[in-house]
């Protein structure tokens, strides 16, 4: 009995991590139509960046952000001689953000080391990678087929994962838990880290829900995903909506990465599988409705830990195979062919 309770709690904990990822997936998909294969890599960046900072190293993420920002600016740099004003206007926000990133890393390493500061810095760094990747991979071709955008995200996944492998190496890095210890309840030990994960995931969900339902900015993001033209006519710049959603998605995923890092020694391979499992969970909600997506990831998490216990080799196979029955069930009512319009 205790075993099952333990597995259930373990499953809910990993379900909560999947939830953060699933929320990011839904967020990015609704605002940009990109079904982001690379979403899990932000989680990996979160875990690895935190590990570097806690070890007292300059995180390679800083280099990625600075180099990426420079690449984004490349067209403006090329136009430097013809219209210096355009360059200054474009470069200013980049310079400010670069200064912010550098300052935060400096403070974390030399002034105010510690878990909380490291997490804050990690969050900022990884969040910045989101819009950079959006600017470089999606924005040049906003009108592309959804299928093309998916394959682009495959390319992004290969690049980010490959760079991480080069920069951090393949060895796993242990990360100390933000809060040690735990409580014993009903004969089962629950670590504070697991509690923190559940609380943070819950808060993030509520926050995102409120953002989309209650704020104008959230509604604008949703509008931009339904019809780019329509949103444009209402004064919503789809490029801005895309950049914001990529930033939010990256931040949420990084949060998941930082929370999960102490439970599974951080390594560059953790992102992809978690991303894909989050997707399987999110398909419950058809990738658009938050409460159902959350129920889905909770189920996937529990199933995940039970199958890890009962048939460890097939663990991933069982979870991934779920995708077919879920999709058949979710799309039970096949759409009619609309006429002309």
Partner 1 sequence: MRQFFFCALAAVIAAVIGLAPAYYVSLTILAGIDALAATGLIVLIQAGQVSLGHAAYVGLGAYASAILTRDVGLTPWLGLLAGAAVAALAALPLGFVALKLRGTYLPLATLAWGMAVYVTLVAATPITGGPSGFDHVPPLRVAGVDLGVAGGAERGCAALVWLLVLLATVSLARLLRSRQGRALRAIRHHEALAVAFGINPARVKIVAFVLSAALAGFAGALYAHQAQFVSPAPFGLGASFTLLIVVMLGGIGHPVGAVLGAITVALTNLTLQTVFSGLISRIGPVEPVAFGLLLVVLLLKWPGGIWSALEPHLPPRARRQSIRPSVLCGRPATDARKAEPILELRHVEKRFGGLQALCDVSLRVLPQAILGLIGPNGAGKSTAFNIMSGLSRPTSGEVLMDGRCLKGRPWQVIGQGLARTFQHVKLVEGMSVLENVALGAFWRGNAGWIACLIGLDRAEEAATLQAAAAALACVGLTAQADLPCSSLPLGRQRLVEIARAIAAAPALLLLDEPAAGLRAGEKAALAALLQRLRSEGMTIVLVEHDIDLVMRSVDRLVVLNTGRVLADGPALKVRNDPRVIDAYIGAGVA
Binding region for partner 1 (CB under 8 A) = 29, 33, 35, 37, 136-137, 140-141, 144, 146-148, 150-152, 154-163, 165-166, 169, 272, 276, 279-280, 283, 286-287, 311, 313-318, 320-321, 323-324, 327-328, 331-332, 334-341
Nearby residues of 256 by Cβ (< 8 Å), 6 or more positions away = 17, 20, 21, 43, 46, 201, 274
273, containing H or E segment: helix 270-282
Residue (106 or 329) nearer to partner 1, CB? 329
The nearest distance, CB 310 to partner 1, in angstroms, is 13
The tokens for 30 are 């609704």
The nearest distance, CB 279 to partner 1, in angstroms, is 5
Residue (144 or 263) nearer to partner 1, CB? 144
Nearby residues of 213 by Cβ (< 8 Å), 6 or more positions away = none
Residue (81 or 337) nearer to partner 1, CB? 337
The nearest distance, CB 85 to partner 1, in angstroms, is 28
The nearest distance, CB 315 to partner 1, in angstroms, is 8
Residue (121 or 245) nearer to partner 1, CB? 245
Residue (262 or 281) nearer to partner 1, CB? 281
Instruction: Provide DSSP, 118-183.
Output: HHHHHHHHHHHHHHHHIIIIIGGGTTS-HHHHHHHHHHHHHHHHHHHHHHH-SS-B----SS--EE
Write b or e for each residue in 231-262: b if 16 or more Cβ atoms lie within 10 A of its Cβ, otherwise e: beeeebebbebbbbbbbbbbbbbbbbbbbbbb
Residue (104 or 149) nearer to partner 1, CB? 149
Using DSSP's 3-state secondary structure scheme, residue 282 falls into: helix
Residue (60 or 262) nearer to partner 1, CB? 60
**CA–CA dist 103, 75 (Å, integer):** 26
**CA–CA dist 15, 18 (Å, integer):** 5
The nearest distance, CB 209 to partner 1, in angstroms, is 21
Write b or e for each residue in 137-156: b if 16 or more Cβ atoms lie within 10 A of its Cβ, otherwise e: bbbeeeeeeeeebeebbeeb
The nearest distance, CB 288 to partner 1, in angstroms, is 10
């Amino acid at each position: 009995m205790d075993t099952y309770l333990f597995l259930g709690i373990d499953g809910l904990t990993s379900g909560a991590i999947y939830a953060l990822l699933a929320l990011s997936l839904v967020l990015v998909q609704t605002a940009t139509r990109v079904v982001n294969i690379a979403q899990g890599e932000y989680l990996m960046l979160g875990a690895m960046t935190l590990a570097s900072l806690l070890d007292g190293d300059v995180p390679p993420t800083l280099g990625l952000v600075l180099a990426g920002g420079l690449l984004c600016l490349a067209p403006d740099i090329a136009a430097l001689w013809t219209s210096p004003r355009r360059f200054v206007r474009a470069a200013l926000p980049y310079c400010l953000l670069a200064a912010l990133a550098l300052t935060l890393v400096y403070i974390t390493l030399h002034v105010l080391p510690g878990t909380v500061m490291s997490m804050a810095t990690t969050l900022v760094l990884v969040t910045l990678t989101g819009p950079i990747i959006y600017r470089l991979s999606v924005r040049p071709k906003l009108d592309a087929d959804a299928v093309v955008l998916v394959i682009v995200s495959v390319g992004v996944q290969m690049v980010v994962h490959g760079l991480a492998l080069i920069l951090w190496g393949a060895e796993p890095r242990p990360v100390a838990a933000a809060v040690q210890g735990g409580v014993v309840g009903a004969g089962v030990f629950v670590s504070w880290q697991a509690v923190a994960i559940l609380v943070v995931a819950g808060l993030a969900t509520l926050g995102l829900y409120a953002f989309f339902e209650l704020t104008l900015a959230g509604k604008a993001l949703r509008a931009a995903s339904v019809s780019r033209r329509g949103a444009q006519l209402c004064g919503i710049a789809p490029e801005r909506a895309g950049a914001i959603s990529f930033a939010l998605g990256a931040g949420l995923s990084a949060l998941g990465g930082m929370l999960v890092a102490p439970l599974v020694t951080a390594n560059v391979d953790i992102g992809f599988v978690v991303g894909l499992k989050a997707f399987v969970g999110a398909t419950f909600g058809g990738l658009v409705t938050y409460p159902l997506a959350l129920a889905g990831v909770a189920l996937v998490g529990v199933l995940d830990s039970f199958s890890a216990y009962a048939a460890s080799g097939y663990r991933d196979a069982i979870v991934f195979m779920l995708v077919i029955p879920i999709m058949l069930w979710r799309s039970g009512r096949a759409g009619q062919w609309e006429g002309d319009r």
